[in-house]
Amino acid sequence: MIKDLIKYTIMFVVLVLIQVLVLNNIQLSGYINPFLYILFILLLPFQTPVYLLLFLGFILGLTIDIFGNTPGIHSSATVFLAFIRPYVLELISGRDNPETGFSPRMKTLGIAWFIKYTVILVLCHHIFLFYIEVFTFSGAFYTLLRCLLSSVLSIILVIISQYIIFKN
């Protein structure tokens, strides 16, 4: 258990640093903003209690908000992501949830399952994040385009991270 706590703490710190120091400074033509920090919520074990998911989502989003000077936007989006994650897991896996102790990894559950899981959650997070950011429907097409393009890049980064981190 201590080993897992250390592993997830290191993952939290590394993802926040990558997001704050590198990815927040990348903005391709004003449309694409990659958000890799949500990988932390995506990779938490299946049996993580909902209250802990929500708390960790809030802490993760608050950390990004503090460094990015965005007042609560990322906090609300990561709490939303943490809230819908159990429902998406149930939707994808059906009633047979994977065994206790497993984490959603491409290596253990297969590429098709992991891509469905990632695409659904990243799209939900990005749509929520970008529409909360603009807080209007007047530029709905522009915002939707930003959501889709940023989601594509974020999904690619999540999948690449699976190949880099979990090589075997």
Number of domains in the chain: 1
Mean pLDDT estimate for the chain: 89
The residue with tokens 């939290």 is 12
Where do the H-state alpha helices sit in the chain?
Answer: 2-21, 39-42, 50-68, 73-93, 106-109, 111-134, 140-165
Domain of 136 in residue numbering reads as: 2-165
Tokens of 150: 């940023």
What's the confidence (pLDDT) of residue 88? 93
pTM for the whole structure:
0.90
3-state secondary structure of 111: helix
Cβ neighbours, 10 Å, residue 44:
19
pLDDT in tens, 55-113: 999 999 999 999 988 889 999 999 999 999 999 999 998 765 555 567 888 888 889 99
Do the beta carbons of residue 51 and residue 65 sit within 8 Å?
no
